[in-house]
Structure 1
């Protein structure tokens, strides 16, 4: 499969997964027509991504999102940049867990670090029994931090470094639950507020959110790939009543786990034929 945009790849995977698991017809709902060259009007972006049609004529709305939005792109830029903060007197390095949110860190870390400096704290370690992190740093997913006086001529501030030591953790059922909790947070975040909004705007009574789980969620990804099914129900925002987690993997099988609101998790592993099934929706 060759995709021009990652959004196309995500919708392709969602189409293939829904068709394979439910045996339904799925069509794209977004306006995919090209914009006139001279048009200055933005393309409408208020419609859900996909529409399901069941054999009995019932329809359902689907919105597709990816975990790569905040993490892969955000950390790539943040790890190579330095944020200066006038209220600080030291240069800090913050080691943050993979699920940390760049926007939250940029907005809230300066005040948290300033309080550490006021208390005379120059470093904190969040692992083991010596964990002395204040609640705000825990909430921001700061694993540890260390500071030094700024180099001569440099201003105080902080770097962000992603922590990969949690890494690949295998098939523990606890991590099956962890990925559900992280999806709860993702769909409840301000960045994803348009997911329930678009689904509610569809006017359809059945509404699915499909989350494409990428390597940015490394700690959770391994458990899903290896066969774990979560034990807890998702906490979904109003407007979302069904949840799908799809793991893109090439080469190798693509697995998805899904919640249909009936109290149990299911899974599906796509064959090559099922993966190629949506090709007609993405050609031309």
Structure 2
């Protein structure tokens, strides 16, 4: 049987903490196609199906993993370091890894024409590059430029933005498989758990309420498609709370931040 993914283990721990007396077990053992992820169990009886998904910007995450995905910090021994570099989402990671250190060395040495270096950085997809103090000589930190809608805006007073976004997002073709897995489960309760990672397709107002310690709950009900009885939302940042909409309306729960791998 394949092991649970890390995010599924985290979700399981958070749901068990939120629902008194409920245990979460692996359901998708790979024995059949299109199995939902997790069983919800109470008094040794499976009463619910849960599917875990993420509203993720796949292209941005892929780029981030290519540049920063290893456990090792990006360090160039010929640099003083402390560079924070912002690039566009269309930047080619391999070319950036190859050419950026040389351009940063030229900037540190002050030997190259500033306009020439700036032009070459722009060609690489670099939006900005700033150097600051660092405890790690030679370090280069790369982050992605994102749409303004995803990175900032007015702080919402209610969680309604989250619901309005979900109502549109769940209708997209990419979510049909998740909904279908739950729809065909012959169980009383069918839960969809939606993670919002750092690089998410959701707007700022939706992700903000999940990251704030005092993030307000929505005041409206989501439009749940046939096959879903409950919806959960959680940011992958360590801050914020877990939001759950079920038969009793909206509730908020704390996150479990330390999960033991079985």
Please give the TM-score of this superposition, normalised by the length of structure 2.
0.59
Deviation sequence 1:80-128 (CA, Å, 0-9, x none): 28xxxxxxxxxxxxxxxxxxxxxxxxxxxxxxxxxxxxxxxxxxxxxxx
Q: Is the 8 A contact 2:231 2:244 kept in 1?
A: yes
User: What's the offset of the Cα at 1:196?
Assistant: 1.8
Q: Is the 8 A contact 1:169 1:222 kept in 2?
A: no
Answering whether residue 174 of structure 2 is matched by residue 164 of structure 1, we say no
Structure 2 equivalent of residue 191 of structure 1: 174
State the alpha-carbon separation in 1 of the partners of residues 184 and 168 from structure 2: 22
State the alpha-carbon separation in 2 of the partners of residues 257 and 267 from structure 1: 5
User: What's the offset of the Cα at 1:213?
Assistant: 1.0
Q: Judging changes above 3 Å, is the alpha-carbon distance between structure 1 residues 168 and 13 closer, same or farther for their aligned structure 2 residues?
A: farther
The secondary structure found in structure 1 opposite 2:40 is strand
Answering whether residue 148 of structure 2 is matched by residue 202 of structure 1, we say no
Q: Judging changes above 3 Å, is the alpha-carbon distance between structure 1 residues 8 and 230 closer, same or farther for their aligned structure 2 residues?
A: same
1:261 to 247, 251, 256: 247
Structure 1 equivalent of residue 77 of structure 2: none
Superposition RMSD in Å: 3.1
Answering whether residue 36 of structure 2 is matched by residue 48 of structure 1, we say yes
User: What's the offset of the Cα at 1:45?
Assistant: 3.0
Gaps spanning 5+ residues in structure 2: where? 65-87, 92-144
Answering whether residue 231 of structure 2 is matched by residue 243 of structure 1, we say yes
The secondary structure found in structure 1 opposite 2:231 is strand
Structure 2 equivalent of residue 232 of structure 1: 220
User: What's the offset of the Cα at 1:182?
Assistant: 1.5
The secondary structure found in structure 1 opposite 2:219 is coil
Q: Is the 8 A contact 2:210 2:233 kept in 1?
A: no
Q: Is the 8 A contact 1:25 1:52 kept in 2?
A: yes
Q: Judging changes above 3 Å, is the alpha-carbon distance between structure 1 residues 201 and 51 closer, same or farther for their aligned structure 2 residues?
A: same
Deviation sequence 1:168-192 (CA, Å, 0-9, x none): 3464234x11111212222221111
The secondary structure found in structure 1 opposite 2:5 is helix
State the alpha-carbon separation in 2 of the partners of residues 57 and 183 from structure 1: 30
User: What's the offset of the Cα at 1:10?
Assistant: 2.4
Answering whether residue 78 of structure 2 is matched by residue 80 of structure 1, we say no
User: What's the offset of the Cα at 1:63?
Assistant: 0.5
The secondary structure found in structure 1 opposite 2:148 is coil
Gaps spanning 5+ residues in structure 1: where? 33-42, 82-160
Q: Is the 8 A contact 2:241 2:254 kept in 1?
A: yes
The secondary structure found in structure 1 opposite 2:242 is strand
User: What's the offset of the Cα at 1:218?
Assistant: 5.4
1:179 to 153, 157, 162: 162
Structure 1 equivalent of residue 26 of structure 2: 28
Answering whether residue 40 of structure 2 is matched by residue 9 of structure 1, we say no
Please give the TM-score of this superposition, normalised by the length of structure 1.
0.55
Q: How many residues align?
A: 180
Structure 1 residues 125-136: aligned runs within 5 Å: none
Q: Is the 8 A contact 1:19 1:25 kept in 2?
A: yes
